[in-house]
Amino acid sequence: MTTAPAGSRLPDRARVVVIGGGVIGCSVAYHLAHAGWTDVVLLERDRLTSGTTWHAAGLMTCFGSTSETSTAIRLYSRDLYARLEEETGQATGFKPVGLIEAAADEARLEEYRRVAAFQRHLGLEVEEISPTEMADLFPWARTDDLLAGFHVPGDGRVNPVDLTTALAKGARRLGVRIVEGVTVEDVLTDRGRVTGVRATDGEDVEPQVIEAEYVVNCAGMWARELGARNGLVIPNQAAEHYYLITDTIDGLDPDAPVFEDPASYGYYREEGGGMMVGLFEPQAAPWQVEGVPRDFSFGKIPPDWDRMSPFLEKAMARVPVTLEVGVRTFFCGPESFTPDLAPAVGEAPGIRSYFVAAGMNSVGVLSAGGLGRVLAHWITTGRPDVDVTGFNVDRFRPWQADDGYRAARTTEILGTVYAAHTPGKQLRTARNTLLSPVHDRLVEQGGYLREVSGWEGADWFAGPSTTPTAEPTWGRAPWFTQWEAEHRAVREGVGLMDMSFMAKLRVQGPDAGALLDRVSAGAVEGPPETITYTQWLDDDGRIEGDLTVTKLGEGDFFVVASDTAHGHTLAWLARHGGDADCTVTDVTADHGQLNVQGPRSREVLAELTDADLSTEAFPFRTARRIELAGVELLCVRITYLGELGYELYVPAAETLRVYDALLAAGAPYGLRPVGLKALASLRMEKGYRDFGHDIDNTDCPLEAGLGFALALDKPGGFVGRDAVLARKEANAGAGGMGQRIVQVRVLDPEPLLYHAEVVHRDGEAVGYVRAASYGWTLGGAVGLAMVSGGGEPVTPEWIRAGAWEVDVAGVRHPVEVSLRPMYDPASARIKV
């Protein structure tokens, strides 16, 4: 029960303190209350909606995402906003006037057709319409040069201030206490757990402590600075965001649909009899990089006319009537953006019960309802019920909070809201942050570089002394020839791949083995010089990590995870470490990682070492220190590509020396540098999983086809074991699991898969492709998809009994489907 000291508006304790009274904070409080947690206090430093919510454009548009989580969040939000007035008596201003999304070029048309097929599968009503039909629905736009439009009749607009007020009213009615004019100075912690906040109620009042079990940072563009006081990285950055509202336009229907033309940088909707024209320009301007003023509440930013004029003219030209009438309002205000255009959500790494919901990237209003529900569920149950691998705040690394990095990236990231998402498109700002020890050699060999979690990685190689070039495309590009050659080099000969960007941790101490064995579903506390592929699970038996643990010696372990899971892996160990007598050291930058893979890999290594690499002396899953090219390094016989292969972990200062030696020794064997496109195609043919792409935190390892990696009978068990056993028993009684990850191969060699293509069995949608590539060995596009049996178990017999197709941009193509890897299903090639 919330109590308040005499003479104070503030309670001395609460179960949850929510910081920030924008639409996100009010939604979190509202959903906590609906979950039965009513001992909640929301603190707003000024008044509700101050900061960014009050000036939001209020678009409630669901179209455009190939993320199941994002789509579900938006659909939930739209439904909530439609019914909230009935519950609270407060209007939200929601009007389902519809949305028209314009496709101005072939690349966008291909993208939107793929998006539309995916989102229809998830329940969004969307249809492709002609330019003439677009003009009928929104006659103010010029449509003669557009290829098509995508109409979503249930989308529309909402009033952000009214919506926030309704959420706050709904929360208050259930017992939540909302206090305005209170500034949170600090989040208080003790031994890695939240204990409360220190808040100031007015300038002349001494700070007061409010004890709390949970704190939620919904401070918007101030979230970064607040989080930094506790060492938390939330690299959101405010940027200038523009819209204008014209004078009254005769005949403008207040129920006209929202119109968006991303190629013209603009969105358009009726506002007070005039037309609102909003902008997402391709070159943006960060605002207050050093920190947002504490007293900024309902302010505006002086507009930069010189910078904005070309973008504004292009946007207004799409709706010519806006050029013929006066402008009533020209508005520039701040919106905050993250470096990867995904929100910062979840429990803070290293601080239990400190949650974050910030960095909304200008879609806070349309996401608020669903995101508030997700976070409330996470807080009250201890785990999210949707895939959050792309949203989790623990993904961020310290260098992303640097002023220079945020300033550079923000100039580009705002524009990606409306950019085409053609495969091969990449960000160009804030590059070269992290460089591999062999970076210069990658450049010399013609590596086409792309960002890999801040590192520069080679996608493919054009060849020595050749400058690689590539244009984004949904089709086949000229560099596919190099990609195929690199893929086949690994399958038929030997390839050399730099993967120094992988996350590498050293776990050492008397309790290191016990800790890792408890969090790992595999048996990692076995004999030394052994590598174990394993999952880390939550208490519900869902996947939280997919990685390798190498036992170097007693109390000495080497953990390797993907680059995208770097922060999450560290956070998971910190969360479960407790009082364990061991240390976890991030040694990612201390070691280069060179992968030598292919049927001739053993021969190449033998040229450079006296170590016995025969299968008898060095079997699969062996990890041993050897001397190679005069350098002592860790050699691990393991593969992520489906061939005989080795991973070499080399001291960073010696990595280039080893790389060059491998190139020279491998020349007679046809060794060639191999990039990340080949990594994707090779692993996809073998059906190897990738956490955060084709498996995530909603998946059980049994459904994911990873039951072979579980040591269900190991002494002491592991986190999540009981839940997995219960699920296994239930599935056995049902004749099998109701959903499974399957491998999908398109029989026609021409169509390409990327992600989110819907899979059909006997004409019925049963799932979608989570990740895909091209299978040069298998002769067609290959993907991994989670499919549901719709009440039947997903078994080999059920798969064989169906006729299977995949939807690629609205066209269905026959596919082969398998539970087992289509390439080398018995894994004979990796154990020779």
Closest CA relative to residue 112, chosen from 562, 447, 420: 420
pLDDT for res 381: 97
Reply yes or no on whether the pLDDT at 4 is more than 60.
no
Residue with tokens 């076995």: 526
Residue 467 has which token pair? Answer: 């400058």
Q: Where are the beta strands (DSSP E) in 412-474?
A: 447-452, 455-461
Residue carrying the six token digits 């372990």:
557
pLDDT above 60: residue 7: no
Amino acid of residue 373: R
Q: What pLDDT is attached to residue 8?
A: 63
C-alpha to C-alpha distance for 791 and 470, rounded to whole angstroms: 46
Distances in Å between the alpha carbon of 329 and those of 244, 278, 287, 363, 488?
A: 5, 12, 21, 22, 60
For 548-600, the pLDDT digits (tens) are 999 999 999 999 999 999 999 999 999 999 899 999 999 999 999 999 999 99
256, two tokens: 């006209």
Decide if pLDDT at 760 tops 60: yes
Residue with tokens 């070159």: 283
Length of the chain: 832
What share of the chain in percent tops pLDDT 70?
Answer: 99
The per-residue pLDDT of the chain, averaged, comes to 97
The residue-averaged pLDDT of 412-427 equals 96
User: Would the pLDDT of 1 be above 50?
Assistant: no
Q: Which CATH architecture describes the domain 13-53+161-235+341-395?
A: 3-Layer(bba) Sandwich (3.50)
| Pairwise CA distance, residues 490 & 671, whole Å | 9
Q: What is the mean pLDDT of residues 604-625?
A: 98
d(CA 602, CA 333): 60
Under a CB-based contact definition with an 8 Å cutoff, are residues 593 and 504 in contact?
yes
Please report, in angstroms and rounded to a whole number, the separation of the first and last CA atoms in the chain.
Answer: 66
Query: Angle, nearest 10°, between helix axes 480-492 and 676-686?
Result: 60
* Residue 612 scores a pLDDT above 90: yes
Residues of the chain with CATH 3.50.50.60: 13-53+161-235+341-395
User: Any idea which of 6-20, 401-415, 473-487 has the lowest mean pLDDT?
Assistant: 6-20
Q: How confident is the model at residue 202 (pLDDT cuts 50, 70, 90)?
A: confident
For the entire predicted model, the pTM comes to 0.96
pLDDT at position 6 over 50: no
3-state secondary structure of 209: strand
Q: What is the DSSP letter of 326?
A: -
Q: What is the mean pLDDT of residues 628-649?
A: 98
Tens-digit pLDDT profile for residues 248-304: 999 999 999 999 999 999 999 999 999 999 999 999 999 999 999 999 999 999 999
Q: 543 φ, ψ to 5°? A: -75, 130
- Taking the C-alpha atoms of residue 153 and residue 61, their distance in angstroms, rounded to an integer, is 10
The fraction of the chain above a pLDDT of 90, given in percent, is 97
Angle at 679 between CA 675 and CA 684, to 5 degrees: 155
Parts of the chain belonging to CATH 2.40.30.110: 721-829
pLDDT above 50 (res 90) = yes
Instruction: Place domain 721-829 in its CATH homologous superfamily.
Output: Aminomethyltransferase beta-barrel domains (2.40.30.110)
In single-letter form, the type of residue at position 160 comes to P
Q: Could you read off the pLDDT of 338-376 as tens digits, one per residue? A: 999 999 999 999 999 999 999 999 999 999 999 999 999
Task: Using the predicted structure, report yes or no on whether residue 3 has a pLDDT greater than 60.
Answer: no
Q: What span, in angstroms and rounded, lies between the C-alpha atoms of 62 and 43?
A: 30
